[in-house]
Structure 1
Amino acid sequence: MIHEVDEALRRLVRDEALRGSDLEVAFDAPTKDWAARRNAPTVNIYLYDIREDMRRRQRGMLNEYDAQGKVAARHVPPRHMKLSYLVTAWTQRPEDEHRLLSDLLIGFLKYEAVPPGLLSGTLDELQLPVPMTVALPPPEDRAFADVWSALGGELKPSLDVVVSAPISSGRRFEAGPPAKEGVQLRSGEERVRHDVSEDGVAMRRVAR
C-alpha cells in the first residue's frame, strides 16, 4: 500500500502540480550526503512517519455477498494509515525552490483526497477515498525541526503532506449455511418439531 501511495504522489507532482515538468522526483532521505550527490533540480518526497488514523477506525464486520445475494463471508473493515511526507524542493537558488514550493502547494490544495485516477493496486481495488491534507500544523508530539535534526541536515522550507490510506487486514470469515425454519428434535421413534405460528403462538407437532 505504501508504494502505491508513493506512486500516486509522484504522478500528482509531475502531472498536476508541476504540469509535466522534467524535474526529478525522489523519495530518499534528504540527508547531507544525499544533497551533496544531487546534480539536478529535484522534488523530494520523504516518508518520515506512519501511524494509524484512529478517527477512521470502524467496528463490526462487512458482509460479502454471492451471486444470489446471500452473505458468503464477512470481513474486518479496512484500517486507515496516516503516511506523513516531508516535501522539499532542491535547486541552486532559494528563489527557485520557493517558486517550486508555491506550485506544489497550489497543486496539492486542489484536492481533499488523492484523485481516484492516480490510484493503483489495492488502493484502486478497495474503491475507498484516500484523504489528503497539506501544510497542517504537526501533532504536539512531533516537530519538523526534530525531523531535520534526525536527518543530520539544516532546516529547510517544506510542505507536510499527510495521506490517510486504507489497507485491508486480510481477515475474512466464511459464512455458515442459512438457518432452516424451526428446530427438529428426535426422541426414540418420535420426531418433534417446534414452530411458531403467524400470531406468535408456539406450536408443537409430532410426527412418527
Structure 2
Amino acid sequence: MIHEVDEVLRGMLRGGALAGTGVEIAFDAPTRDWAARRNAPTLDAYLYDIREDANRRERGAVAVRDERGFVVSRRQPPRWFRLSYLITAWTKRPEDEHRLLSAVLATLLPQEVLPPAALTGALADLGLAVPITVAGPPAESRSLADIWSALGGELKPSLDVVITAPFPAYPEYDAGPPVTEGAAVRVRGVDGTLEDSAERRHQPRHFSRNAVRRAPGARSQ
C-alpha cells in the first residue's frame, strides 16, 4: 500500500505546475552524503513518519460484493494510516529551490484527495477516498528541527505532505450462498393440515362455525 501511495505522489509531482520541467523525483533520506551527490534539480519526498489514525478506526464487518451485487465475503474495515512526507527542493541556488516549492504548492493545494483515476492495486480495489493535506502543522510528537537533526543535515525549507491511506484488514471470511428464491407462506387449515399438501387435497373440507361468514341478508337455517 505504501509503495502505491509513493507512485501516486510521484505522478502528481511530475504533473501540474511541474509538467515538462524535467525535475527528478526522489524518495531518499536527504542526508548530507545524498545531497552532495545531486547534480540535477531534484524534489525529494522523504517518508519520515507512519502512524495509524486511530480516530478513523471502525468496528464490525464490511460486506464484499461481486459484479452482480451479491455478498461473497466479509472482512474487517480497513485501518487508516497517516503517511507523512518531507518534501524538499535541491538545486544550485536557493531561489530556484523556492520556485520549485512554489510549484509543488500550486500542484498539490487544489487536491483534497488523491485522484481516483491514479489509484492502483489495493487502493483502487477498496474504492475509498484518500485525503491529502499540504503544509499543515507537524505532529506534536516530532518537530522539523528534530527530523533534520536525526538526518544529520542543516534545517532547510520544506513542505509537510500527509496522505491518510486505508490499509486492508485481514482475514476475509467467505459468505454463504445468496438467497435466489422468494419467501413463501404456507397456510394450515382448521384440521391442522397444510392447504397445499396431498393429505389436505384428499380430505373433505371442514369449517368451524366461527369461520363461516353469512352473506348479507341471508337467513339462518
Q: Structure 1 length normalisation: TM-score? A: 0.81
Report Cα offsets for 1:44-96 as digits up to 9, x if no partner. Answer: 00000000111221111111245775543211011111100000000011111
Q: Provide structure 2 residue ranges, at least 5 long, that are not aligned to the other structure.
A: 180-185, 194-221
State yes or no: 1:21 paired with 2:21.
Answer: yes
For 2:136, the equivalent position in structure 1 comes to: 136
Structure 2 distance, partners of 1:65, 1:36, is: 52
Query: Which structure's residues are more often strand, by fraction?
Result: 1
Question: How many corresponding residue pairs?
Answer: 185
For 2:202, the equivalent position in structure 1 comes to: none
Q: Report the Cα offset of residue 175 of structure 1.
A: 2.7
For 1:113, the equivalent position in structure 2 comes to: 113
Q: Provide structure 1 residue ranges, at least 5 long, that are not aligned to the other structure.
A: 180-196, 199-203
1:150/1:68 CA distance change after superposition, 3 Å: closer
Q: Within 5 Å, give how 1:68-147 maps onto structure 2.
A: 70-147=70-147
Report Cα offsets for 1:10-43 as digits up to 9, x if no partner. Answer: 1000012412320111111000000011111100
Other structure's SS at 2:161 match: strand
Other structure's SS at 2:15 match: helix
From the CA coordinates, give the structure whose radius of gyration is larger: 2
Q: Report the Cα offset of residue 104 of structure 1.
A: 0.5
Whether the 8 Å CA contact 1:59–1:77 is kept in 2: the answer is yes
Percent of paired sites with the same residue: 60
1:20/1:67 CA distance change after superposition, 3 Å: closer
Report Cα offsets for 1:140-186 as digits up to 9, x if no partner. Answer: 1110110000000000000000000111123211234689xxxxxxx
1:53/1:40 CA distance change after superposition, 3 Å: same
Structure 2 distance, partners of 1:88, 1:60, is: 41
Q: Structure 2 length normalisation: TM-score? A: 0.77
For 1:11, the equivalent position in structure 2 comes to: 11
